[in-house]
Amino acid sequence: MTSQCAPSTPASRRTKGWKLARVGLLAAAVGATAPALGQPQNISQPVKQVHTGEMVVSTNEFATGLDSAWSMAFLPDGRMLVTELPGDLVIISPDGTVSEPIKGTPAVWAQGQGGLMDVALHPRFTENQLVYLSFAEAGEGGTAGTALGRGRLVNDRIEGFEVIWRQHPKIEGPNHFGNRIAFSPDGKILFSLGERFQFGPAQDLSNTLGTVVRLNDDGSIPQDNPFVGQPNAAGAIWSYGHRNIEASAMHPITGDLWIAEMGPLGGDELNVIRRGANYGWPVVSWGVNYDGSAIPNPPEFPRFAASAHHWSPVISPSGMIFYTGALFPQWHGDLLIGSLSAGGLERVDVEEGAVAGTQFIPFNTRIRDVEQGPDGAVYLLTNVRNGKGAVWRLTPMEIKPASADGDRSGLGAGPG
């Protein structure tokens, strides 16, 4: 389970241009002064350089002054939309200038892990200017639930925002809202959700807790969804049996949705989502309950869909991409996943639809989201509150020649 920050008043916006990192390996950059790796800190200054085994990765501070930033999406003109959990949506210019909050966004339930969360552009954004936002929405009697809406970005404001889909039921509690938006190649929305820390409902098809839902781009339910027309089943459900999903990405070749979801004590999972599949939570898990009680391992119940990979100890995955750029050729086709609890970037080598190896790249702070920029650089969103959050830009500094046998050094073994 991720520990989110309580809402706070955003600090004044600051302008921060591109700042070149100084040369130096990881040990020289942080070894003498930083806390031990594996204990991520709420820091805004980037680790200057990280040696991955294949290259030295330089970390540049691209923009600062963000408050509990949650998601980012590049606009066609090179600017970036960024959500902040307390409820603001800002625009970051190519020179790193952060705008004042733009108008037209929805009111959010900003408590615990809830607030303004994911942002995504419609696949035909250049034609329709549609921006999608997901957020925690207040209900009656102190309840809340995840909602998805859209509006048009016109003159740097959101116009005509409307909620197009709501998770049900709304319940009490501040945890496990999930919230990642992905568009499939056929233009459908695959929206990943948490089970609101309710456990059992993730196995109940009558609600959408702990599910991935599939929607038309206007929020209506496609008639070819697996449970449409089934009595006592929510027609929006595409897959179920999930715990808390804060990372999702479409495979650029196969069009499959990959998600990374948070386990309890141990057992974060990487899953390839299949139509109508049940992924087992809370009946099975690679982790244990917070009170130490055991949960059956997934192989004991083969009727549940198997994970592609799992992590113990947890990395607390949040935000991920399939890297398709040219700037990091060694990473082409790999998954890059933000890590909150481990404090860095998890690289997953995906070969022919399977996990061939993983590598953790430490940055010593909680990473909430990952994006690929139009320049091919990798952008990281730090999970820091009180106006101290930042966007970091990763670029390679030194690349080793590939070995004759094509070995990709630095990657560990496949699924654990």
Domain positions in the chain are: 26-399
- Structure confidence at residue 20 (pLDDT): 25
More confident residue, 257 or 5: 257
Statement: residue 306 has pLDDT above 50: yes
- Structure confidence at residue 54 (pLDDT): 84
- pLDDT (average), residues 190-218: 98
Measure the CA angle with vertex 362, ends 359 and 368; round to 5°: 100
Q: Which of 18-22, 49-53, 99-103 has the lowest mean pLDDT?
A: 18-22
Superfamily of domain 26-399: TolB, C-terminal domain (2.120.10.30)
Q: Which amino acid is it at 282?
A: P
Tokens of 409: 């050094």
More confident residue, 48 or 240: 240
Question: Distance from CA of residue 31 to its chain's centroid?
Answer: 28
Statement: residue 134 has pLDDT above 70: yes
Statement: residue 1 has pLDDT above 90: no
Banded pLDDT at 398 (limits 50, 70, 90)? low
Whether residue 238 contacts residue 247, with contact meaning beta carbons closer than 8 Å, is answered with no
For the stretch 62-76, pLDDT in tens is: 999 999 999 999 999
Handedness of CA 378, 381, 382, 388 (dihedral sign): positive
CA distances 51 to 25, 410, 412, Å, are 6, 10, 16
- Those residues with Cβ within 8 angstroms of residue 405's Cβ, 6 or more apart along the chain or in another chain: none
Q: Which of 10-24, 47-61, 105-119, 299-313 has the lowest mean pLDDT?
A: 10-24
- pLDDT (average), residues 253-268: 98
- Structure confidence at residue 46 (pLDDT): 67
Q: Which of 2-6, 173-177, 209-213, 312-316 has the lowest mean pLDDT?
A: 2-6
The overall average pLDDT reported for the chain is 88
Statement: residue 389 has pLDDT above 90: yes
Statement: residue 35 has pLDDT above 60: no
Statement: residue 409 has pLDDT above 50: no
Banded pLDDT at 411 (limits 50, 70, 90)? low
Distance between CA 315 and CA 148 in Å, rounded?
27
- Structure confidence at residue 41 (pLDDT): 57
Q: Out of 51, 122, 168, 176, pick the active-site residue.
A: 176
Statement: residue 304 has pLDDT above 60: yes
- Structure confidence at residue 294 (pLDDT): 97
Statement: residue 415 has pLDDT above 90: no
- Structure confidence at residue 37 (pLDDT): 37
- pLDDT (average), residues 108-131: 98
Tokens 């609101």 locate to 196
Tokens 């307390």 locate to 86
- Structure confidence at residue 103 (pLDDT): 98
- pLDDT (average), residues 86-103: 98
- Structure confidence at residue 33 (pLDDT): 28
For the stretch 327-378, pLDDT in tens is: 999 999 999 999 999 999 999 999 999 999 999 999 999 999 999 999 999 9
Q: Which of 28-42, 65-79, 206-220 has the lowest mean pLDDT?
A: 28-42
Whether residue 345 contacts residue 370, with contact meaning beta carbons closer than 8 Å, is answered with yes
Q: Is 168 a catalytic residue?
A: no
Statement: residue 52 has pLDDT above 50: yes
CA distances 104 to 89, 154, 179, 258, 348, Å, are 9, 10, 20, 31, 38
For the stretch 158-178, pLDDT in tens is: 999 999 999 999 999 999 999
Q: Which of 21-30, 54-63, 117-126, 307-316 has the lowest mean pLDDT?
A: 21-30
Strand partners, 261: 245, 269
Statement: residue 16 has pLDDT above 80: no
Neighbours of 332 (CB within 10 A): 13
